[in-house]
């Protein structure tokens, strides 16, 4: 047996053992964490907390934005609700103007126009500083939420120890092509395996941006840290949802997952857009993992195992794949053990997912293994080597994946040049050219 074979077999075997232990515990805790949330039907609406919904928007497709706002307007929440849509210097304001106009007669809506693009984080803060609700729900402009999402998330936030809660994400464009179908299954696994298990201990490590609710009193304590996040002395302009979640946990708050709160978001339908998105997410995950490490000893040991699997697992898989490919090139021998182990792990995982979701389609998620091995694993290696790069890798176009996820953070401040009347008396529009 050559040195390459030994290294490859050792790496893939360790990966299999680590994954078997982690996935078994994850499935157990995810099962325990799931369950319907009780409804407080008898509460006086006046006693319910007020909720501000913030929708940052950059170059969004008018039809997608309209669907988003329609879902917000249709919420069944009995308490006070206000909706702030922040246009982050979009180039297509003329195209989305009719969408704004449709809702200006609704006193719950307020539209903020920023004179230039400042990025999602600062667009959020512009609305946070203008709003006053007890709870803040962030919704991406390419996301539509079910009519009971606000009600369900507010139920979870009734516990004053909870600083943030997220809903379950699905792909609204799932049926467009094979990639979107795979991403939809990836989201299901991320929510109902990973987040559900973490929620067992009140420590969801990333309350995903498309649908996440925060407690204002907690958020205000962390706003300066959130706004001024640096990495190696440079502003960090992406991964805002993960960073804010870690800040919440660092401050001693719980972060939760509500599987019944369904949000459907537009996912990348082309491989290039998907890989650019994954590169940003990988960089933000590596950055904030360093921030999260001191938190792990104070939580259940499963969360330490979770962090090890999320970071060491891909490294072991990369080593086994690289040695297997090198072995094949140099000796023309097939790395049989590596192939058998990876194939077996894939089929077990997909079969368990199909059983838990009660959907046979999850067997097809085995195709994602090829994307993971030959694209995502090398991409994560590149992300680790380029952590200081905060480029969003986007053309800032609505044709390149979800629009709000592709905004470019360009400057520190932006003037609000138009807003809807807070009294519902119409909107005064003034565009900066």
184-237: pLDDT as tens digits: 999 999 999 999 999 999 999 999 999 999 999 999 999 999 988 877 777 777
- Axis-axis angle for helices 3-33, 336-357 (nearest 10): 10
Rounded to whole angstroms, the Cα distance separating 327 from 342 reads 16
Distance of CA 104 to the CA centre of its chain: 29
- The reported pLDDT for the residue numbered 287 is 87
- The reported pLDDT for the residue numbered 238 is 72
- The reported pLDDT for the residue numbered 56 is 97
- The reported pLDDT for the residue numbered 393 is 57
Counting as low any pLDDT under 50, the low residues of the chain are 33-36, 395-414, 416-433
Rounded to whole angstroms, the Cα distance separating 5 from 23 reads 26
Confirm if 189 and 353 have CB atoms less than 8 A apart. yes
- The reported pLDDT for the residue numbered 429 is 35
The tokens of 225 are what?
């840290």
- The reported pLDDT for the residue numbered 430 is 34
Residue 160's CB: how many other CB atoms inside 10 A? 11
Give the three-class secondary structure for 420.
Answer: strand
The tokens of 60 are what?
């969004």
**Claim: this prediction has a pTM higher than 0.75:** yes
Which CATH class for the 44-269+411-428 domain? alpha beta
Degrees, nearest 5: CA angle 119-255-258: 95
Distances (CA, A) of 37 to 26, 105, 158, 200, 256: 21, 34, 11, 14, 12
Distance of CA 19 to the CA centre of its chain: 23
Give the three-class secondary structure for 269.
Answer: coil
Closest to 258 measured CA to CA, from 186, 356, 191, 310? 191
The tokens of 328 are what?
């094949």
Q: How many Cα atoms sit within 13 Å of 234 on the Cβ side?
A: 11
Rounded to whole angstroms, the Cα distance separating 259 from 195 reads 9
- The reported pLDDT for the residue numbered 399 is 37
Rounded to whole angstroms, the Cα distance separating 26 from 33 reads 10
Rounded to whole angstroms, the Cα distance separating 140 from 159 reads 25
- The reported pLDDT for the residue numbered 1 is 74
Q: How many Cα atoms sit within 13 Å of 430 on the Cβ side?
A: 7
- The reported pLDDT for the residue numbered 321 is 93
- The reported pLDDT for the residue numbered 229 is 80
- The reported pLDDT for the residue numbered 312 is 94
The tokens of 1 are what?
């047996």
């Amino acid at each position: 047996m050559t040195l390459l074979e030994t290294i490859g077999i050792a790496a893939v075997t360790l990966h299999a053992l680590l994954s078997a232990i982690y996935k078994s515990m994850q499935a157990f805790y995810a099962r325990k964490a799931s369950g319907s949330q009780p409804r407080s039907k008898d509460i006086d609406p006046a006693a319910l907390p007020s909720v501000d919904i913030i929708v940052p928007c950059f170059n969004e497709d008018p039809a997608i934005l309209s669907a988003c706002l329609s879902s917000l307007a249709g919420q069944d929440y009995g308490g006070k609700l206000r909706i702030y849509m922040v246009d982050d210097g979009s180039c297509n304001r003329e195209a989305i103007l009719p969408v704004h106009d449709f809702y200006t007669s609704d006193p719950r809506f307020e539209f903020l126009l920023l004179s230039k693009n400042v990025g999602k984080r600062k667009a959020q803060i512009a609305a946070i500083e203008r709003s006053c609700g007890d709870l803040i729900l962030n919704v991406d402009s390419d996301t539509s939420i079910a009519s009971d999402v606000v009600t369900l998330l507010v139920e979870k936030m009734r516990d004053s120890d909870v600083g943030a809660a997220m809903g379950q994400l699905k792909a609204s464009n799932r049926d467009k092509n094979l990639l979107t179908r795979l991403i939809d299954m990836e989201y299901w696994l991320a929510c109902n395996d990973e987040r559900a298990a973490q929620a067992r201990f009140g420590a969801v490590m990333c309350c995903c941006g498309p649908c996440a609710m925060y407690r204002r009193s907690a958020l205000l304590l962390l706003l300066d840290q959130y706004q001024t996040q640096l990495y190696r002395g440079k502003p960090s302009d992406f991964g805002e949802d993960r960073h804010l979640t870690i800040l919440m946990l660092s401050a001693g708050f719980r972060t939760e997952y509500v599987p019944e709160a369904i949000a459907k978001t537009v996912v990348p339908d082309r491989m290039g857009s998907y890989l650019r998105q994954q590169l940003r997410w990988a960089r933000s995950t590596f950055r904030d993992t360093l921030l999260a490490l001191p938190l792990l000893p104070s939580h259940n040991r499963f969360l330490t195992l979770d962090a090890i699997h999320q970071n060491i697992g891909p490294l072991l898989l990369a080593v086994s794949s690289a040695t297997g490919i090198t072995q094949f090139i140099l000796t023309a021998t097939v790395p049989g053990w590596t192939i058998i182990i990876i194939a077996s792990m894939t089929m077990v995982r997909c079969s368990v997912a199909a059983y838990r979701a009660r959907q046979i389609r999850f067997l097809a998620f085995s195709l994602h293994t090829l994307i993971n091995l030959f694209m995502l694993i090398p991409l994560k290696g590149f992300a680790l080597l380029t952590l200081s790069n905060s480029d969003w890798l986007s053309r800032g176009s609505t044709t390149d994946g979800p629009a709000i996820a592709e905004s470019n953070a360009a400057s520190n401040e932006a003037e609000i040049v138009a807003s809807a009347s807070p009294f519902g008396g119409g909107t005064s529009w003034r565009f900066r050219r």
